Structure 1
Amino acid sequence: MTSKQNAASLADQKIISLAFRNLCLARELVLPNAWDAASAICLARAGAPAIATTSAGIAWAAGVHDGGGLGPGDAIAALIKIVQATDLPVTADIENGYFLDEPGLIRIIQQVLDLGVVGINVEDSNRSQLMDADAQADRIAIIRQTADRYGVSLFINARVDTAFFGSSDPAERDADSIRRAEKYIDAGADGIFVPGVTDLPTISRLAGNLSVPLNIMTGPGCPSVRDLLAAGAGRITTGMAGALACYEVIEASARELLQEGTYDRLSPALDFSSFNAAMMGAKLTSR
C-alpha cells in the first residue's frame, strides 16, 4: 500500500471512528457479537450498525478456551478477517490487552488501530482475578495516549469484572464497580462495560452514577432491550451467546443425525445461493 493510500485509509478511519463514537454516545446502541468473518457478514445482513467481536467466540473458533487461551497472534488474525468482511465500524474485544507490560500493550493497540478498528473492550481481570484498579487506570491512559498519537478517536469501553470476580456482597460489589469505573473514566475510558449484571435495579444504580454509557451483556432469559434501555443501559451486546447458540445447533444436529438418522435440527437454514453470494460480495454494510 502506498503512503497516499495509507493516508486515505487513516482519513476514512478517523471519520468512521467519530461516527461510531456518536452511535455509542446516543446511549441506545444494540450490538450482537461476531467471532469470524461469516458471523460478521450475518450481522451486517441483519442490519447491525457496527460489528462488535466476542473474544470467547474467537477463542472457541480457534479451539482454545476463553479467558486466557487465545494469544495475541490468533486474536489479530481473526480480527483481520472480520475487518475485511465488512465496511461497518468494528469494535474489538481484546480481553485484558494480552500484555500486562506497557510496550506490549502499546504494540497490540497499534496493531488493532492499523487494521482500521475504531473501538475496543478492555477488561480489568487476569487469570480469574480482578486487577488493581489504579494499575488498570494507568493502562487505559496508555491506550488513550496511543490512540491519540495515532489520530483516531478510539472508543475505549472499559470492562469492569466485579460481577465475576468481586465481592459476594451486592452493596460492596456495586460500590467497587463504581469506584473502578470512575478511575477508568478519569484515565480516558469512553464507556463502562459490566458483564454479568442483568437485573434492572442494579443497572439503574450503576448507570445513575456514571457519566458515560453503560454497556450490559444480555442473552436468553434477560430483560428485553426496551427494559434495559429504560433502566439506563446505553449499549447492549450479546457477547458469546450467538456463538454458543450456533455450536448448540451443530452439536444437537450431529447427535440427531448419528443417533436418529434424521435432520430436523438443521432446519430452517440459510439459503445456500444467497449466503454464498454474500460471501463473494464481502465488505457488506448493513441494509
Structure 2
Amino acid sequence: MSSNAEHAALFRRLHTEGVLRLANAWDAGSARLIETLGAKAIATTSAGLAWSRGYSDGDTLPFAHLQTAVAEIARVVRVPLTVDMEGGYSDEPAAVADHVERLVGLGVVGINLEDGAGTPEALCAKIVAIREIAARNGFDVFVNARTDVYLRGLAPPEQRVATVLERAARYREAGADGLFVPGVTEADDIRGIANGAGLPLNVLLRAALPPIEALEALGVARLSAGSDLAEAAFGQTRALAAAFLADGRAGPGPRSAYGELNALFTPRD
C-alpha cells in the first residue's frame, strides 16, 4: 500500500480502539514533541496554528500558510496526521476539495471541517466535493465533520441532541467519516449523540467532561485537546517574558532543555 493508504487505514482503525487522544499541535516543533510522548496520531489546532503564523483564528489564515505549516509538520512526524481546516478556507466546495487534495499530497490523512455559523447544506456540499475528488484521484482522507450546535448555542439546550443528530445524518449521507461536537459535556447528551449519530464521536476537552474511562463507556471514539496546549504555551511564554523584561529574570520554569529539545530534530533513518 502507499503511504497515504497505510496511514489512512491506521487512522481509521484508531477510531475503533478506545478513545483516541489527540493533543493538538500548532507547529512542527510541538508536533514532534507530542509524537515523542507516544501520541498515536497528530492533530493540529486551527487556533494555535494560526497564531503561530501571525493570524487570528476563524478562517483568516491564508491557505498557503497552512500548506507551509503542514509540510513542516509532515516532515518531522511519522504517525498519521490530521489537520483542522476550519471551514475549508473557502466558501466554494470545489476550492475546499482542492485544498484537501493539496494537503493529502503533503501526507495528511484526516481533516476537520466545520459548519460554524453556516448552514448544514454548505458543509454537506463541501464534503460531497471532497468525496468526489478523492474517488476521482484515488486517495483516502478521513473527514471529521464538526458541528457547532453546542459551541455556538445554535439550539435550545433541550433540542441540542436532536439538532446534532439531524445534522449528523446529513453529514454522514454526504460522506463524513466522523462527527466532532465541541462543547458537549453532559453524559446523557454524549450517550445520545454517540448512539444515534452513526459516526465515530469526537468531543473537545473541557473540565466538565466525564473522565476518559466514562467517555469510552458512553461511546466516545476521540478526544481532542483543541487549543488548550497552545494557549498554555503562549500563556507561559508571556509570563516568563514579562518577568524577564521587568527584572532580567525569566522566573520559575524548566531549565537545561536545549539538548533534549535539539535532539528531537536529529534526522531519523
Bin for the TM-score computed over the shorter chain: over 0.9
Taking the aligned partners of 2:218 and 2:254, their CA distance within structure 1 comes to: 35
Q: Quick check: 1:46 aligned with 2:44? A: no
The Cα of 1:202 is off from its aligned counterpart by 1.7
1:211 to 194, 198, 201: 198
Which TM-score applies when normalising by structure 1?
0.87
Instruction: Give the number of the structure with larger relative contact order, counting CA–CA contacts within 8 Å between residues 6 or more apart.
Output: 1
Which secondary structure state, in structure 1, belongs to the residue aligned with residue 265 of structure 2? helix
Which TM-score applies when normalising by structure 2?
0.93
CA RMSD of aligned residues (A): 1.9
1:119 is matched with: 110
1:271 is matched with: 257
The Cα of 1:63 is off from its aligned counterpart by 1.5
Which secondary structure state, in structure 1, belongs to the residue aligned with residue 40 of structure 2? coil
The Cα of 1:33 is off from its aligned counterpart by 0.5
The Cα of 1:219 is off from its aligned counterpart by 4.4
1:145 to 101, 109, 132: 132
Overall identity of the aligned pairs, in %:
35
Letter in 1 for 2:31: A
Taking the aligned partners of 1:227 and 1:161, their CA distance within structure 2 comes to: 23
Gaps of 5+ in 2: none
1:101 to 92, 99, 102: 92
Contact 2:94 2:126 (C-alpha < 8 Å) held by counterparts: no
Q: Which has the higher helix share?
A: 1
The Cα of 1:212 is off from its aligned counterpart by 1.5
Q: Quick check: 1:257 aligned with 2:249? A: no
Contact 1:14 1:151 (C-alpha < 8 Å) held by counterparts: no
Which secondary structure state, in structure 2, belongs to the residue aligned with residue 216 of structure 1? strand
Q: How many pairs does the alignment contain?
A: 269
Q: Quick check: 1:63 aligned with 2:50? A: no
Q: Quick check: 1:281 aligned with 2:267? A: yes
Q: Which deviates more, 34-43 or 222-231?
A: 222-231
1:269–1:142: structure 2 CA closer, same or farther, 3 Å change rule?
farther
1:196 is matched with: 183
1:164 is matched with: 151
Q: Quick check: 1:239 aligned with 2:226? A: yes
Which secondary structure state, in structure 2, belongs to the residue aligned with residue 164 of structure 1? coil
Gaps of 5+ in 1: 1-9
Q: Quick check: 1:182 aligned with 2:173? A: no
Taking the aligned partners of 2:159 and 2:55, their CA distance within structure 1 comes to: 34
Taking the aligned partners of 2:112 and 2:68, their CA distance within structure 1 comes to: 17
1:110 is matched with: 101
Which secondary structure state, in structure 1, belongs to the residue aligned with residue 220 of structure 2? coil
